[in-house]
Structure 1
């Protein structure tokens, strides 16, 4: 496995130096800020990424204020009370993306969140705090939870939704997948349990060797891989 220092130096050379690379990596993610979010914002983020999956993101972004209005600003209690005929009516409204199967995931994922908060062994009074407390050295465990407990949150949708709310996580972009294959860290399907564990372990090792977050490390791998040589000059 490549050491962090080697990965960092290659990315810095490709981006025009350490100072520029550090700017591109962005700030360190702070999971404790996620805990301060309302669960309505978590449900909104999950739902937006579901609708953006396989669709033009810009169109979903432009229509999202209409989603907020039609689905009670994603208030869990109100969403959970929607009868199916109301969901059908909303799914047929041209003000949003008319996809009944995706509309149904809003209530389904509200159920996931409600059930987690009110389970007998729950240690958190909000789903936001549940997400915030999940350890970074087992992000694939959180991905698996969302995939199994939620609806349409598997694949890259769940990770992108987590990134959107500020949860520190790596992503499996094409550049990152290419890196792990080129370095023979994975050889099977990217979403197989074996591959995901190998990728998580690699990110865990890099975190032990650095002070970077998973988000920053994920960007670092992308910057060190593929056709993305970018030179940035300061005046």
Structure 2
């Protein structure tokens, strides 16, 4: 399936064609470059929580995620202990999955550790950006869209090596799409070609 024209006459990737939270995300955020450690940690965390769920579920809970994880301040989340994780397991406003909550804390600690890594200048953001594809995809239909790439596999391995969790190749490909490591929109979508902000 190629781009879908909505009731407003605009061609979009099919998943963002209908009005609502998904369209808003498609039109204003998906595929836009983000900047700063907390923005990268937020997207990494939300992609991990999304695994096995609909993205609309995550978007509808996003403000609660931002609240409980202190705006994805890596230092504050890295300081969480078992009591904090137990508290989050009781918070119905977020996805209550013990493994994913623990992974968020583990990933915050790994993010802090990356700041002093001698082989990475620029921490989490620089590491993720270093895996940008040299030949980015340009799918015309949903059937042509990938779910992994050699770059997402390599990024997954690099993050796991540095202690990150819930960072499999499919999740990392979704992250790369979401934060504009390459333009993820279908050819013919009105957002195609206008998504990457340096």
Fold shared, TM-score > 0.5 on shorter chain? yes
Q: What is the aligned counterpart of 1:59 among 57, 60, 72?
A: 57
Tell me the alpha carbon deviations over residues 181-206 of structure 1, each in whole angstroms, 9 at most, x when there is no partner. xxxxxxxxxxxxxxxxxxxxxxxxxx
Counterpart contact for 1:146–1:158, Cα < 8 Å: no
Counterpart contact for 1:87–1:104, Cα < 8 Å: yes
Counterpart contact for 2:38–2:72, Cα < 8 Å: yes
Aligned to 1:195: none
Unaligned stretches of 5+ residues in structure 2: 4-10, 14-30, 135-149, 189-198
Aligned to 1:83: 81
SS class of match (2:117)? coil
Distance 1:154 1:148 in 2: 12
Alignment of 1:31-46 (within 5 A): 34=33, 37-46=35-44
Distance 2:116 2:88 in 1: 28
CA 1:24–1:96 in 2, change beyond 3 Å: closer, same or farther? closer
SS class of match (2:95)? coil
Distance 2:46 2:131 in 1: 22
Counterpart contact for 1:46–1:161, Cα < 8 Å: yes
Q: Tell me the CA shift for residue 136 of structure 1.
A: 2.1
Aligned to 2:177: 163
Aligned to 1:129: 126
Larger Rg over CA atoms: 1
Query: Is 1:107 aligned to 2:121, yes or no?
Result: no
Aligned to 2:69: 71
RMSD of aligned alpha carbons? 2.9
Q: Tell me the CA shift for residue 148 of structure 1.
A: 4.3
Counterpart contact for 1:143–1:159, Cα < 8 Å: no
Counterpart contact for 2:68–2:88, Cα < 8 Å: yes
Distance 1:120 1:57 in 2: 35
Q: Tell me the CA shift for residue 120 of structure 1.
A: 2.6
Query: Is 1:146 aligned to 2:156, yes or no?
Result: no
Distance 1:143 1:153 in 2: 6
Aligned to 1:48: 46
Aligned to 2:6: none
Alignment of 1:145-224 (within 5 A): 145-149=158-162, 150-168=164-182, 215=184, 219=186
Unaligned stretches of 5+ residues in structure 1: 1-10, 16-22, 26-30, 169-212, 224-235
Q: Normalising to structure 1: TM-score of the pair?
A: 0.54
Counterpart contact for 2:155–2:169, Cα < 8 Å: no
Counterpart contact for 1:79–1:110, Cα < 8 Å: yes
Distance 1:56 1:134 in 2: 26
Counterpart contact for 1:146–1:154, Cα < 8 Å: no
